[in-house]
Amino acid sequence: MSFQLHRNGQYIPCDLNKLREMARTGDLAQDEYVYDERVRTWVGASQIDEMKDAWNIGENEATVAMELSPEMLAMFDQQDDAPKAAAPAPAPVPKAPEPQRQSAPAPRAPEPKMAPVREEAPPPRSDPPRSEPPRSDPPRSSGGGGFGGGGGRRSNRQPGTIEDPVMTTIKNAVCFILAILWLIKRYDEVNAFFGEKRFTWWHLLIPIYGLIVMWKFFNSIGEMAQLVGANVPNRAVVYLVGQFCTGGLLTFYLLQTDLNAIWEHMGAKKA
């Protein structure tokens, strides 16, 4: 069973045991997306059946954190290394003087018994509590995922700007400069969403390579919708056909419409 995490622009392979350990130590949040190779899709960590109880610690696993000063730790080390001292021998009890005139000797008093010295074991050492508690974001709804899903859910990713698709199409059709500025802004929003610079707009000017960059950019819209659970279909082919058959007018309209749906699903408000 294999999974993958996407962190700092890298894909980290993990198995189920590693994911559960990361969840117990607070390194894996319930709302972080994990690529499940069994179903070949990104799902929330809490949506994996084997991970539903990974963030719950039973009573038998509870520990009591205890802070010990360096002086106390040194004292316990000295007690462990030093040999146990022998118990001191009891002092002899002096005999009572015998009376001069007595038919029978006086009974001797019983010697006091020394109670054995009981050494108390030092309290077990325990690591101090973590300075930062594990992330406790509310678990996401299990009803959404993939390209479909219901209910808006907030994300820690940065949403873009919601714009009117009709006005966007008209402005881009009237002025080529406005279309270039609109395209640059969309590339910046997608890069900000993924937290890394995936696309550079002027790469579109390179012959043949520009088509590859355009196709990857169109596919990234579907990937964004899948990651946040927005109800947006994967229309990369439609974008590409509209770019060449309608001079970009259909692409402007559909692309802005789908981006608006993703931003609204992430909690962005209309300007």
In the three-class reduction of DSSP (H, G, I as helix; E, B as strand; rest coil), residue 129 is classed as: coil
Residue 134 sits in the same domain as residue 185: no
Return the pLDDT at 148: 38
52, part of any domain: yes
DSSP 11: E
- Whether 44 is covered by a domain: the verdict is yes
Same domain assignment for residues 134 and 174: no
134 and 6 co-located in one domain: yes
Q: What is the pLDDT of residue 136?
A: 41
Residue 108 lies in a domain: no
Check: CB of residue 90 under 8 Å from CB of residue 114.
yes
Q: At 33, is the secondary structure helix, strand, or coil? A: strand
> In angstroms, rounded to a whole number, what is the distance separating the alpha carbons of residues 151 and 46?
17
- Which residues are CB-contacts of 196 (< 8 A; sequence separation ≥ 6)? 9
On whether both 172 and 259 belong to a single domain, the answer is yes
Contact 45, 20 (CB under 8 A): no
Render pLDDT for 63-119 as a digit per residue (tens, 0 to 9).
433 445 567 667 766 766 655 544 455 555 555 555 555 555 555 655 656 655 565
170 and 253 within one domain:
yes
The pLDDT value given to residue 184: 92
178 and 261 housed in the same domain:
yes
Q: Are 140 and 228 in contact (CB under 8 A)?
A: no
Residue 251 lies in a domain: yes
Please give the Cα distance from 35 to 11 (Å, whole number). Answer: 9
Q: What is the total count of domains within the chain?
A: 2
What was the pLDDT predicted at 221? 93
Do 260 and 183 belong together in one domain?
yes
Whether the CB-CB separation of 248 and 204 falls below 8 Å is answered with: no
Asked if 211 and 240 touch (Cβ cutoff 8 Å), the reply is no
Q: Is residue 45 part of a domain?
A: yes
pLDDT per position in the chain (271 positions), as tens? 588 888 887 788 888 888 888 888 888 888 788 888 888 788 888 888 877 788 775 444 434 334 455 676 677 667 666 555 444 555 555 555 555 555 555 556 556 566 555 656 555 555 544 444 444 443 343 333 333 333 444 456 888 889 999 999 999 899 989 989 999 999 999 999 998 888 888 888 888 898 898 899 999 999 999 999 888 988 989 988 988 898 889 999 999 999 999 999 988 877 6
Structural domain containing residue 214: 165-265
CB 262 within 8 A of CB 224: yes
Model pLDDT, residue 80: 62
User: Helix, strand, coil: what percent of the chain each, to 5?
Assistant: 40, 5, 50
Domain-embedded: residue 98: no
- Measured in whole angstroms, how far is the alpha carbon of residue 96 from the centre of its chain? 80
Q: Are 40 and 169 within one domain?
A: no
Q: Is the pTM of this model over 0.75?
A: no
pLDDT of residue 60: 42
Do 16 and 129 share a structural domain? yes
Residues 225, 134: one domain? no
